[in-house]
Amino acid sequence: MMSSVRTLLFLILISLGTPALSEDGYDLWLRYTPVNPQLQAQYRDSISSIVVSGNSPTMLAVRDELTRGLEGILGTTVPASLTAEKSGALVIGTPDSSEAIAALGLPLTNLGTEGYLLRTANQNGRELTVIAANSDVGALYGTYHFLRLLQTQHSIQDLDISAKPKTQTRVLNHWDNLDRNVERGYAGQSLWDWHKLPDYLDPRYTDYARANASIGINGTVLTNVNANATSLTPMYLEKSAALANVFRAYGIRVYLTARFSAPIEIGGLKSADPLDPAVREWWKKKTDEIYRYIPDFGGYLVKANSEGQPGPQDYGRSHADGANMLAEAVAPHGGIVMWRAFVYSNEEPDDRAKQAYNEFVPYDGKFRENVLVQVKNGAIDFQPREPFHPLFGAMPKTPLMMEFQITKEYLGFATHLAYLAPLFEEALDADTFVKGKGSTVAKVLDGSLHGYARTGMAGVANIGVDRNWSGSHFDQANWYAYGRLAWDPMLASREIAEEWARMTFTNDEAFINPTVEMMMKSREAVVDYMTPLGLHHLMGRGHHYGPGPWVEGGPRADWTSVYYHRATKEGIGFDRSASGSNAVAQYAKPVAAIFGDRNKVPEQFLLWFHHVPWDRKMSSGRTLWNELVHAYSRGVQSVSEMRQTWDHLKPYLDAERHAQVASFFEIQEKEAKWWRDACIAYFQTFSERPIPEGYAQPEHSLEYYKSLEFPYAPGHH
Ligand code: GCW
């Protein structure tokens, strides 16, 4: 009753052209609101009953989702039926569970366990719509695809779609601690309520699983890579198992981070040496124990010998020794080890950008077959813009996974709008040239370039207990885009943005076009007002909030900003060419020839690879100094434009979400100016050149910007 009253009210509001009821963002892109009446009529004609075959928890989830989705989109309840005896049946299942599907003899063989077909079919004179797969999870993915077609107002006549994921392991990495603090999390506390687990299962866990399944994410690493051995104790394994029980129906496996020193901390051993038989035995037993709690446990994610984490090098052993020990323990159970390449040792390197390559390339081919090496998109650390990580062109014998950061540690936290799919796409489309032109990072990752048997992608989650999950409405798009790209790294960021915006807000073209434009330019705006022209790592020390180009001193040089920008009276930038650290030599020759030549390198990477005089002429005709001021100012300008665009979009959505985004734009504009002014004031002390005419002077003195402190910035550990 309640729900039909609500639907009616909703329809009245829609037909009046009034913005929808207030929304808080909880429903993400699964809002299932009514489509326009004409389409609704068409959809109703095509779908008159739902026939879900099978009673597994996954098929129950399919039935629930379809019922919920169709009721919302079509504005009416579509009856469930046991057989497809009438035209207009929507039939979902596998050849094993559904006679109707078996009888159609569909080409399912190449779709694997996660792929699916969406087909319009004729059977004995009846027209059916079919969602068919080899497994229940495939049928679930097909169901979400079908609902997406409806949500984005596509025709469902003459359907003939087949899809399967291009990578196997598509995981979220939660940097969530057991005390619920989320490292680099800007959306509140961790979703995992460890204290109440395993007994209380927050309904949110199911909605989390639904959201992930809807975009093809099939794994979740529950715990922080800066790991705590307590998560491997029986008490916590029971809690993780409870989560795994919720996620299983949605095709999502649970993974845990393995603290390398756990045998000492919770096992009572004296050592964690990976070649010590007692240590190996401990991990084997511990792993067997985990599988008793979680029979489909996915495996371990490990950060070792990086930023103070323990690891095999503590015992003079290699990353391969460490990874292989854990791989051996999970192998009998079909598990994997994701071993992170984000390493840098305690000795200061001549160039931190070179370290992962130096430490991993010698071990190419030495890892067990169930190890994937997880590599960040760039060699430093999730900067607004980085050239692709050289490791992607250098490990033909080792499956490499991508690690993207969805949470915006370096891109304005949750308040700045930065749609990250263009950043992801730039990394995926980058050409490593390792097997000649066209050897893109995407082809390395999907296994097609080197024939990797295992493939995967990881995204550092931006999710917490905030009502809208991500801390901002637009940050939901980054979670969404990550999932879609993990499924298919060849997808275009613009299409993903459009898909997401239609489902999250409205199908009204007057809203969609400007919103997609705004999203597409948003990340470039952040690059401009934070780190233009290849600058990097200029953020405030530790918490990374706001500008800190002056950061120097402290425990090690490569944790400072001055290490990265190297500004002097003569010029600015990190010389990574042959005359400098020669990091360019880690790329294939054709790439090195471009990055290593300051006249050929794309200007967006200029100061990443070269130290350049202030007066150097840029392609615009401006000097480097003037170009820098120009770029910083352009960034601020873009944010003002986005804010204005958003103001005009008020009529198209609910007031609640509009208002939050609008006020976040005010924050972003204020902080973009802060970035511009602080950086220009600071770099001017080196360039000693005036700010060119027509550009604003910094609002405050450099001393003022330097004096700002943020001891309670979120996400810091
Ligand atoms: O991005 C940096 C972060 C650390 C993080 C580390 C890593 C989990 O500042 O907070 O630690 O990278 O990726 O291991």
Say which of 288, 307, 350, 570 is annotated catalytic.
307
Give the residue from 700, 709, 710 showing the smallest Cα distance to 679: 700
Q: Which atom of ligand 1 is nearest to the CA of 382?
A: 1
Q: Which atom of ligand 1 is nearest to the CA of 183?
A: 10
Homologous superfamily (CATH) of 528-574+611-707 is Alpha-glucuronidase, C-terminal domain (3.90.1330.10)
Identify residue 90 by its one-letter amino acid code. L
Strand, helix or coil for residue 672: helix
pLDDT tier, 83 (very low <50, low <70, confident <90, very high otherwise): confident
Say which of 359, 409, 475, 654 is annotated catalytic.
409
Q: Which atom of ligand 1 is nearest to the CA of 303?
A: 14
Pocket flag, ligand 1, residue 342 (CB < 6 Å):
yes
- What token pair was written down for 148? 């997406």
pLDDT by residue (tens digit) across 370-381? 999 999 999 999
DSSP-derived letter for residue 562 is H
- What is the distance in A from the centroid of ligand 1 to the CA of 712? 18
Identify the bridge partners of residue 182 per DSSP, sorted by sequence position: 176
* Placement of tokens 């001021």 in the chain: 629
Mean pLDDT score of the chain? 96
CA distances from 579 to 398, 542, 574, 592, 611 (A): 31, 31, 11, 13, 10
Residue span(s) of the chain under CATH 3.20.20.80 come to: 169-504
Catalytic: 99?
no
C-alpha to C-alpha distance for 715 and 543, rounded to whole angstroms: 7
Residue span(s) of the chain under CATH 3.30.379.10 come to: 25-163
Pocket flag, ligand 1, residue 410 (CB < 6 Å):
no
Catalytic: 509?
no
Span 439-449, average pLDDT? 98
Tell me: pLDDT of 9 over 60. Answer: no
Homologous superfamily (CATH) of 25-163 is Chitobiase/beta-hexosaminidase domain 2-like (3.30.379.10)
Span 662-674, average pLDDT? 98
- Cβ atoms of 243 and 192 within 8 Å: the answer is yes
CA distances from 456 to 35, 212, 400, 438, 492 (A): 35, 15, 8, 20, 19
Tell me: pLDDT of 16 over 60. Answer: no
pLDDT tier, 4 (very low <50, low <70, confident <90, very high otherwise): low
CATH code assigned to 169-504: 3.20.20.80
Q: Which atom of ligand 1 is nearest to the CA of 717?
A: 10
- What is the distance in A from the centroid of ligand 1 to the CA of 256? 17
Pocket flag, ligand 1, residue 381 (CB < 6 Å):
yes
pLDDT by residue (tens digit) across 18-28? 445 789 999 99
Catalytic: 65?
no
Residue span(s) of the chain under CATH 3.90.1330.10 come to: 528-574+611-707
Pocket flag, ligand 1, residue 148 (CB < 6 Å):
no
